[in-house]
Amino acid sequence: VATTAWMGLAFVVPQLPRTDVWYVVYHIVLLAYLHPTNSSLDTSLRLVLVMFSLLRLPAILTVERLSLVVLCNVPFIAVMAVRVGFERIDTQFGGRTLVITLEVVHLVVLIVAALVLKEYLMGKVEQDMEKNNAVTQLNAASSLLQLTCDAVVELDSNLRLTKHSRELAAMLLRDSSDRPATSLEGTLFTDLMPKVDVPHALTRLTDFRSTATSGSQSRGQAHTLQSLTAHAFHTRLVDSCSTKLQTE
């Protein structure tokens, strides 16, 4: 019950029991269950599968080094090999060779599971770092653009404004003292242009997005940020008085 509760804690709060010392102590306790003074051979053979599924396999969440997974699980093969070699085994368990082979398979599964878990955690940490770096660079770029541009807006994948821009609303005469401001959030960016300029703008915006996507795929995920470059093109926006404003 105590060992099961400890492994349950590892699922809920993985950082708390994640230490190599606990992993070693934990496997010493499990090996003690298989000692001849604690259980008969038949009982141990029935216990091995349950122990592997419910205790040994989840225990990889608490270990940081792959070498410990090997060192702590090889003794299970040795203990079972000694016991089936010197004690009489029931034929229902398939013989001595099958018992030892099963323990070897358990060891291989544990090693593979530990490798997969390690790769997953490393990939997740790398993705989180890249995401935070991208957000930081986006904020820095936005702050710099606000110093040099009249209005700074962000578009989603559908070319819609992600949030309202008071500066852009003022430029388009949509935010004045005698006219309540209309939120630009969700507005299609091309709806702010003359219809004759929309095809050219769509072509340029699509080219920019395609270039960034292909660059990130060709260089790999780790170099996505380095592959992004700035682009500019000239177009026109239409204010509420149908005046066409030259913009870049």
Q: Give the whole-angstrom CA distance, residue 176 versus residue 174.
A: 6
Give the global pTM. Answer: 0.54
Predicted pLDDT of residue 228: 52
Report the mean per-residue pLDDT for the chain: 77
Predicted pLDDT of residue 179: 53
Mean pLDDT within 125-154:
80
What is the C-alpha end-to-end distance of the chain, expressed in Å?
69
Residue 246, strand partner residues? 236
Mean pLDDT within 222-242:
68
Confidence of residue 54 (pLDDT cuts 50, 70, 90): confident
Higher pLDDT, 73 or 232: 73
pLDDT at 173 over 70: yes
SS3 244: strand
Mention every residue, 6+ apart, whose C-beta is less than 8 A from residue 191. Answer: none
Predicted pLDDT of residue 112: 92
Residue matched to tokens 């005698």? 178
Residue 205 near residue 160 (C-beta atoms within 8 A) = no
Amino acid occupying residue 17: P
Mean pLDDT within 19-39:
80
pLDDT at 191 over 80: yes
pLDDT at 109 over 80: yes
- What is the per-residue pLDDT across 66-92, written as a single tens digit (0 to 9) for each? 888 888 888 888 888 888 877 777 666
Predicted pLDDT of residue 185: 83
Mean pLDDT within 99-116:
88
Confidence of residue 25 (pLDDT cuts 50, 70, 90): confident
pLDDT at 96 over 50: yes
Q: Beta-strand (E) ranges in the chain?
A: 235-238, 244-247
Confidence of residue 219 (pLDDT cuts 50, 70, 90): very low
Nearest to 52 by CA among 126, 104, 129, 125: 104
Tokens standing for residue 178: 């005698």
Mean pLDDT within 216-233:
53
Q: Per-residue b/e over 91-128, b at no fewer than 16 CB within 10 Å? A: eebeeeeebbebbeebbeebeeebeeeeeeeeeeeeee
Nearest to 232 by CA among 245, 248, 247: 248
Mention every residue, 6+ apart, whose C-beta is less than 8 A from residue 58. Answer: 7, 10, 11
